[in-house]
């Protein structure tokens, strides 16, 4: 019979997987459609970038609890860069350094929130 710790670990893995896969579909599925461009005017869109990448970072932490925070932050950087670059091929979308910075701020916020929740 599974222990409570194993049940908790399994639940976190399942939730982390759902979050990460869901955000990938959001960024690279819906984000590949022309309708995804200009949903919110600048600078309000930065709040969405921060929120999405904070949630992504928390999902990565749930999925891979043994990795150091800097590795998870590095993964978030790679995902942010991939998202901004893929916008080059999507009509109505354009890459923006400020969006990338908001993504990184969100990832740092998410990792910090997770670390503080566990104290």
Report pLDDT for 119.
61
Report pLDDT for 40.
81
Q: How does pLDDT run across 11-29, given as a tens digit for each residue? A: 999 999 999 999 999 999 9
Q: Where are the domains of the chain?
A: 20-30+41-117
Over residues 25-39, the mean pLDDT reads 87
DSSP structure string for 27-42: IIIGGGSGGGTTSS-T
| Other CB atoms within 10 A of residue 79 CB | 21
Q: How does pLDDT run across 55-114, given as a tens digit for each residue? A: 999 999 999 999 999 999 999 999 999 999 999 998 888 888 999 999 999 999 999 999
């Amino acid at each position: 019979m599974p222990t409570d710790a194993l049940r908790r670990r399994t639940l976190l893995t399942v939730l982390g997987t759902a979050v990460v896969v869901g955000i990938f579909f959001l960024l690279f599925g819906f984000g590949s459609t022309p309708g995804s461009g200009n949903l919110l005017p600048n600078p309000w869109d930065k709040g969405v970038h921060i929120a999405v990448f904070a949630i992504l970072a928390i999902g990565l932490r749930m999925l891979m609890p043994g990795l150091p925070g800097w590795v998870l932050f590095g993964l978030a950087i790679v995902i942010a860069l991939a998202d901004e670059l893929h916008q080059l091929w999507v009509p109505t979308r354009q890459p923006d350094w400020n969006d990338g910075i908001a993504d990184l701020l969100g990832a740092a916020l998410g990792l910090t929130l997770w670390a503080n929740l566990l104290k």
